[in-house]
A and B are shown apart, each in its own frame.
Chain A
Amino acid sequence: MANDLPYSVQEFMNSEKEMSKLTQMASKKYRMPLNAVFTKLSDATRAIASGTVNWGRRNSLWPMQFGLSCCAIEFMDFGASRIDSDRRGFLMFRGTPRQCDVMIVAGWVTKSMVPRVKRLYEQMAKPSYVVSFGECATSGGPWWESYNIIKGIDQVLPVDVYVAGCPPRPENLFNALMMLQQKIGGEAVRSSERSVSEDLHKPEIEGLRLP
């Protein structure tokens, strides 16, 4: 049950102690610089605030309306009447990256698309999360032998959740975003990990040039 609270009990107790200490000090007319009072106050509120912010973050994920290929059709179905993604707080899909914090890479990523996907990720509000949706985005999928496809979006972006399938069902995406919520809330095991390929910090993928 403790997990349902937006803050941990221990943090709350600590902050209460801090608050009572402050009031005691004030009653003893202990002279304290004004800055220090605010610092103490911010310490006290931080525990509650960090919990609340995480709670708010994980319950209002704003996915970006960004489809590359086939999986984007299932992505549309995810937002349409049958699944109704608003139920668990995956709010409206936004057309601009600046209003979003979840990028769902749905489809194969070609070499000419890599710099653009990267730029979209950089334009998103931080902290931003990446869901790799479908086999093409995860590993290249059926286009493994193609000369123009990068083999997995984790070569360019850090990925939080992978969704398997070709294409995955919309229910599967729902599950993936629920896992992402667990991760943001710190409930999932090793939740801070994001899979990053070794090539991530390379300036360029082989054979890839900016237009």
Chain B
Amino acid sequence: MAVMRINIGPVHPSTHGVLRLVVDVDGDMIKRVEPHIGFLHRGVEKLMETRMYMQSPSYLEKLDYISPLSWDELYVASVEKALGAEVKQDAQVARVVMLEFQRIANHLLWLGTFCNDMGNLFTIFMWAFRERSKVLKFLEETTGGRMFYVNIRVGGLNRPLPANFADEAHGLCDYLEEKIAGYGDLIEKSSIFMERTKGVGRLSKADAVAYGAAGPVLRASGIEEDARKSKPYYIYDKIDFIVPTGYRGDTYDRYKVRYIEMQQSIKIIRQALGMLKGNDVVGAPIRLIGPQAKPDTVLLSRELPKGEGIVYMVPDKQRPYRISLRSPAFINLSLLPKLAEGSKFADLFPIFGSLDIVLGEVDR
């Protein structure tokens, strides 16, 4: 049978953004997938070279707009490394709490849209957004912004924590734990979900390493690599949590890894709240001149919700001379041609959805 070429996107409800896929199909089987990116490119790295250090976090947050706080924190941490600045103890704990809530919010949104892609689980979309709005409300009370926070500052946070921070966080943890446990029942008893995910889009261990896969995609293939464990930062080395891994490397494992990560995040938040001593979190004033002790280069990595993100920066006096960002979403997108090849056309979007990419971060 002749090969037919199908164009999907750049505006398509299932591509979760502005992505164009050119798919060659032979009957129902995919021969080749070619992603075309760049529809959201706006030159973030170049713009950041013209901004002073603490003007840039707003740009960083718009990279991964599903979990803005994580890129914000990664960038400010690299500025702190350039400055040689210490982070206050309470601020470290508060950052960990907020980052883990951000991870939960990210995975909830991913779960909702992924289940929506499956066809019959719009209920989960509604539920996930209900829980996500609770998390956003908590972060809004803490930071002042609903979606973009710009709350991390050199040495600490932008504003002091609210008085009922710990109580609210504990209450939210209890709420989320109960609700997330309920998702599992609904999802894993759905035969449509299980048949469309189990054994679909398998990624072997060797391929995951060869393609440089990041985050839950890498862990679902059976490699226990998490920057929170392997290069612990802040208080992660004092916290007891597991890094979930899969062994089949299929779409179901990628779902399960993220699902367990949400539960582990709740565990981390509870332990971190126990270490919160006071409310001494506010960092240095925002009029920051520039690195006094200037190292040649700064290279820093953090475990973002989507994988390991890296900032490579050449600091200068007032602003970075050059900054380069390693985006986990971009690298995971490069796996799509490999995973989708040979599978059925209907499996393309479960595979694509399981990679959890954000086009704002892919295109930069």
Q: Is A50 an interface residue (CB 8 A)?
A: no
How many A-B pairs have beta carbons closer than 8 Å: the answer is 83
What residues of B have a CB within 8 angstroms of the CB of A68 in the complex?
17-18, 40
From B62, B125, B129, B130, residue with most partner A Cβ within 10 Å: B62
What residues of B have a CB within 8 angstroms of the CB of A143 in the complex?
42, 47
A112 to B19, CA, bound (A): 12
What residues of B have a CB within 8 angstroms of the CB of A152 in the complex?
none
A70-B360, A112-B38 are known contacts. Are A142 and B58 too (CB-CB below 8 A)?
A: yes
Choose among A76, A80, A108, A120 the residue that contacts B40 (Cβ–Cβ < 8 A): A108
Q: Is the CB of B109 within 8 A of A73?
A: yes
Contact segment of B6-14, B217-225, B273-281: B6-14
A81-B129, A112-B39, A145-B47 are known contacts. Are A70 and B62 too (CB-CB below 8 A)?
A: yes
Q: Is the CB of B39 within 8 A of A110?
A: yes
What residues of A have a CB within 8 angstroms of the CB of B129 in the complex?
76-77, 80-82
Residues of A in contact, count (CB < 8 Å): 32
Least CB separation from A120: chain B residue:
B11
Q: Is the CB of A148 within 8 A of B18?
A: no
Q: Is A66 an interface residue (CB 8 A)?
A: yes
A82-B130, A110-B40, A166-B148 are known contacts. Are A142 and B13 too (CB-CB below 8 A)?
A: no
Choose among A67, A72, A81, A148 the residue that contacts B43 (Cβ–Cβ < 8 A): A148
Restricting to A122-164, which residues have a CB under 8 Å from any CB of B? Answer: 142-143, 145-149
A110 to B44, CA, bound (A): 13
Chain B contact patch, size range: 35 or more
Q: Is the CB of B133 within 8 A of A82?
A: yes
Shortest Cβ distance from residue A125 to the other chain B in the assembled complex, whole angstroms: 17
A108 to B41, CA, bound (A): 10
Q: Is the CB of B65 within 8 A of A148?
A: no
Q: Is B52 an interface residue (CB 8 A)?
A: no
Shortest Cβ distance from residue A129 to the other chain B in the assembled complex, whole angstroms: 18
What is B's interface to A at a CB cutoff of 8 Å?
Answer: 10-13, 17-18, 38-43, 46-47, 50, 58-59, 62, 65-66, 109, 112-113, 125-127, 129-130, 132-133, 146-148, 359-360
8 nearest CB pairs, A to B:
A80-B129, A70-B65, A95-B13, A146-B42, A81-B126, A81-B130, A82-B133, A143-B42
Give 4 new A-B contacts, CB below 8 A, not counting A68-B18, A69-B65, A70-B62.
A73-B65, A74-B147, A82-B130, A113-B39
